[in-house]
Amino acid sequence: MNSDKATFALIEDNDDYSTTAVYSKVSIGSKRIKALVDCGAAKTCMSKALADALNLEIDASSESVFTLGNGTKQPALGIIYDVPIQVEENMIIPCTVEVLPSCPSHFIIGNNWLNRSKARIDFNTSSLKVTYKNKNAELEISFLRKNEKPTHVSSYEQTYKNPVSNTNSHLVKRVHFQNEAIENSSEESSENEIEDESSSLDESEDEENDEKSLLVLENDGRQ
């Protein structure tokens, strides 16, 4: 059996962070809300629990069906027109929002709002830059997984076997999924999705399914 050795020098880079989805903060009414910025979501969505907390009522029915990041499908409960999404004082960018029974994050900003606001994510400055009606604003974003250090990779020597498929064949990779409810995670977080004493929405689903879009529009009969 032939085998070849090759040494790979993988450079450790402290600036190469292991990132999750992008989050930012917006306001709706008197509530400050942590929003997931999802460029893969066609439309902006919120959970029914959040809509109730904001005292928002559904304006019309919806024929949209969404596929969540875990593969489950959810038909929208309805749509709310002109939800006033405030990015800073005296700057509101309204948006039509789909209401779902539950969401990976209670509020997901999708492409309909991102396009209207001419949004641009700048990872160098950790900001979401928006423009609307001749006004500009920058929203701070966060994209590091909580309590997780950046990944470091060291050099190593790999022995190849022939055929190549036999190399490292004894290793088994396992995929782990976060449970929908993680105890104590909300206690460790210093910021809630809705910074209001009267609201107590569950935030344990915020960072699931990070490697792909958390919300995909599967069927839309209404524009």
Q: Do residues 96 and 79 make contact, with C-beta atoms less than 8 angstroms apart? A: yes
Give the pLDDT of residue 27: 95
Query: What's the predicted TM-score (pTM) here?
Result: 0.59
Q: Is the pLDDT of residue 220 over 90?
A: no
Fold designation for 19-147+182-219: Cathepsin D, subunit A; domain 1 (2.40.70)
Give the pLDDT of residue 159: 58
199 exposure class (CB count in 10 Å sphere: 0-12, 13-18, 19+): middle
Give the pLDDT of residue 19: 54
* Dihedral angle, C-alpha 82, 87, 91, 93, nearest 10 °: -30
Give the pLDDT of residue 143: 74
Residue range 97-103: mean pLDDT, rounded: 89
Please choose, from the candidates 71, 90, 116, 111, the residue with its C-alpha nearest in 3D space to the C-alpha of residue 208: 71
Name the DSSP class of 201.
-
Residue range 130-145: mean pLDDT, rounded: 88
Give the whole-angstrom CA distance, residue 165 versus residue 75.
43
Give the whole-angstrom CA distance, residue 167 versus residue 154.
19
Can you give the residue ranges of every domain in the chain? 19-147+182-219
Give the pLDDT of residue 161: 61
